[in-house]
Amino acid sequence: MRLKQQMIWTVHLAIVFATSLVATAAERRSNPFVSHMFTADPSAHVWEDGRLYVYPSSDTSPPTSYSSMDGYHVFSTDDLISWVDHGEILHSRDVEWGTPQGGNMWAPDCAYKNGRYYFYFPHRNKAMEWEIGVATSEQPASGFEVQGRVRGGSGFCDPCVFIDDDGQAYLYAVIDAKCYAAKLKDNMMELDGEMVHQVGVDEHREGPFVFKRDGIYYMIYPDHHPKFNRMQYSMSDSPLGPWEPKGVFVDHTDVITMHGSVVEYQGQWYLFYHNGALSGGLAHNRSICFDPVRFNEDGSLQRVRQSIGVALPTFHADINFNRMLGALDVGAYTSADLEQHGIRENAIASLELAPGYVVEAFEADHFQGQSWRFEHSVIDLGTLAGDKRFSSIKVSRTTDDNLVKNGSFEEGVEASIRYWAAVKRRTPTHGLHRILEDPADQYYALGYEGEQAAMAIQQTVAVKPQQSYTFSAKLKIDPGATGQVFVSAGEKTFTLDAGTQAGEWVSFTDSLSAGKKKSLSIRCGTSAKFKGRCYWDGIELSEYEPHPESTDAAQTITSL
């Protein structure tokens, strides 16, 4: 449970990354490199201004389905450390010929020819058939206007446009999980011939991307590997094949889909792809990443090592982990110490924590004045500390035996709660939101406003068969509500009736045995006709070894 201390604000927010391989802070931004929204299907390109641009799709929050994807943003960098969100360049409402229900804006691509940028996007028309739309601009990250659809491209999805050294453009796209390709005419909006099935990419599932290196053409594509797709590739001497399959070069992530691109920047090749790091592996809330690509002497690709997060607490001069200042190991750092590590006094705007670390920041030098305790990464310190900035810092290690991930609901991006998902896809969760239970203490809780409909979210935790556990949680229902709110672990359920200590947090604690089970479902929900506002917090499940002389304690309910 959390312990409040006088004059210390314990702050949890946004993002923490479970990591096996971490990025080097001095060389690049950590993964995922977009942390304030959910993005997927990144298409990376380097244009004439020398910047690296990434054109991804956008997942909606809270997660619903792939059909709700909408609104394309563009991101760019000139050092791989700080990334700029150029904002939304296109939305389904901008597409006159598109489906009236919106959404259905899947994996895009962008190409540059004759002084103009061509943005290709798959979208369903009014008959719900896939088309490849085209928007153009004289700028790489703004001013795009829809020009129409690729003539001859009806029915295809996931476009990739590759321009060869001789200026000839090629369109690659997908139908029925198969890859087809054709030349594009000089107008970049019309096929020059029929789309031809590409031979030698038989494992292809979706999202082809083609690039060229040393005279060799490469096509990368997700495969059909269950339960999570991997990235395979094929090589050819021609942009239209036939292709020679080479197998897997990127293992799966924590979400079912895999989609990406490869680009050379400043002498190094990089793979861009997505995972579920910010959402806890939710299929419809993905995040884009990048890692180095290396080649063997024969041109074949080496396996890409995926990196997540940072190795040490890392401090940044801008929000969203941009303009990196430096990283700190365990220790106490005065203002002079921070300066030696490249961290300027009162200059920290965002903090990226490594797993197992805690940062305590002080507004005055030599650990004086008001202090804040951070146990999770914060993408914008201004939302929590206001105009306050930090002059001295302490870094320490910590452990957490709670098996429930994000059980205090401190981590979330947009309207999504990390690690928690609706029990069923159609379960209404639009009334869920993270709230500050006490703004003065900066603790979050999960709130829900119901309109006489059942709601339930869950996560699954691994347990040891026959092991005993302590299960605890806090529940609250506002005055005037009707119905019940509950939290459960397997068959153990805590229930709070509306009107029972209304407006007060009620704490539940009990013990349970895993029996023969290796996993338990942790659920938060309401009764079928719940109406009003309710809250959950402090959900914990930890191993418990009862004393031989004691028996399982009965459920206890106490008011906080």
- Residue 389's Cβ-count burial label (10 Å; 0-12, 13-18, 19+) is middle
Closest CA to 83 of 321, 412, 272: 321
The single-letter DSSP state of residue 385 is H
Give the model confidence (pLDDT) of 325-338 as tens digits: 999 999 999 999 99
Show Cβ contacts of residue 428 under 8 Å, excluding neighbours closer than 6 positions. 453, 455
Cα three-residue angle 354-357-361, rounded to 5 degrees:
105
Residue spans of the chain under pLDDT 70: 1-26, 383-388, 425-429, 437-442, 545-560
pLDDT for res 345: 81
Query: Biggest alpha carbon distance in the chain?
Result: 84
pLDDT for res 551: 45
pLDDT for res 11: 37
Classify each residue of 196-216 as buried b or exposed e, where b means 16 or more C-beta atoms within 10 Å of its C-beta.
Answer: eebebbebbbbbbbbbeeeee
pLDDT for res 558: 37
Neighbouring-strand partners of residue 291: 271
d(CA 154, CA 149): 8
The whole-model pTM stands at 0.87
pLDDT for res 198: 96
217 near 208, Cβ under 8 Å? no
pLDDT for res 386: 61
